[in-house]
Structure 1
Amino acid sequence: MADDKKVSDTETNADCGVCDRPVRKIGVLCGLCEGWFHVGCEKLSKDDYEKLTELGDKSHWFCKTCRSKFKGMKKEIQVLREDNKVLKNRLEAVEKRMDDLQNDIVRDIKEKVIEEIREDEEQERRKSNLVIYNLPEPEGTNAEEVGDIEEAVCQQLFEQEIKVQEVAVVSVKRLGKPREREVRPTA
């Protein structure tokens, strides 16, 4: 806005935005389009003009054309605000979903790593296992007694037949019942 919103003969030779005649005496500057206007052409009251003059650079005045553009822009701004709210809600939903997915991925990776560590530990533990085929079935009355007999047979096998000392038999597990072998005559 121009200083004091007044125009004298020496300050400007700008034409009025309404009537296209020079604004030489009392005129106002539009704060948006920066066009000069006669107070009468814009039907600005004397009181309003004096208020604008008093406020100086602390206020802005807008011509009829710019004010009508503002009215149309208000509706557009409202539509944009509503669209912005919708987009903001969608973005928040996407961000939440991304956070959930990230948490799921981290959880899945942790579970996979733990599973692989356990599998590696199990494989390491099984490295010391020994599988003996065709171990004779012990005869006993209960499972504990059979287990003791099997451990004793394994211990004896290691020490006397395989000649390995200081072997601890932790457990004996049977993988299934022995199958009858088909005997084929050799030629």
Structure 2
Amino acid sequence: MVNDPNWRLPEVPAFSLTSPEVRDGDILPRWARASGMGGEDRSPTLHWSGQPRGTKSFALTVYDPDAPTGSGYWHWAVYNIPGDASALPQDAGNPAAGLLPAGAITLPNESREERFEGAAPPAGHGEHRYVFTLSALGVERLDLPARCTPAVLGFTLRTVILARAQLTTLSETPA
């Protein structure tokens, strides 16, 4: 599917990615919207399981394929999440909260900020999907250029990905 940020990456087995605050296909909570849209730019709690044996680290991205940009919109990208991790707490995307595991690195989002940027679909543009993708990797660390883009992360994943989990949430701003 072209609207999936991983459509050009290799087909790999799936594992489970869930959140106690929002289910697959549900509307994101108000606090997960952008601060300029009445939200708090707070990332939801994420839990995962079923990743393959040999997983040494994880990479997480949050992407809006429905953004009216021609290329979608990256809201969050984190890599070098330790392979023994199984969750991220709510607000882990806030660097001031210090909730990411040691060694995890956040890349700049489309606003060039190294944090989770909440949902902010343009008013009247319709429903947008926010695709949370967690990739299980066969390497302990990725060595990426400082402040590179989520697209560079995606390019790098294609040779080290073992499995992928996705949670797709929704948001809409009425006209």
TM-score range, shorter chain: under 0.3
Query: TM-score normalized by structure 2?
Result: 0.18
Q: TM-score, normalised by structure 1?
A: 0.17
Larger helix share, 1 or 2 = 1
Larger Rg: 1
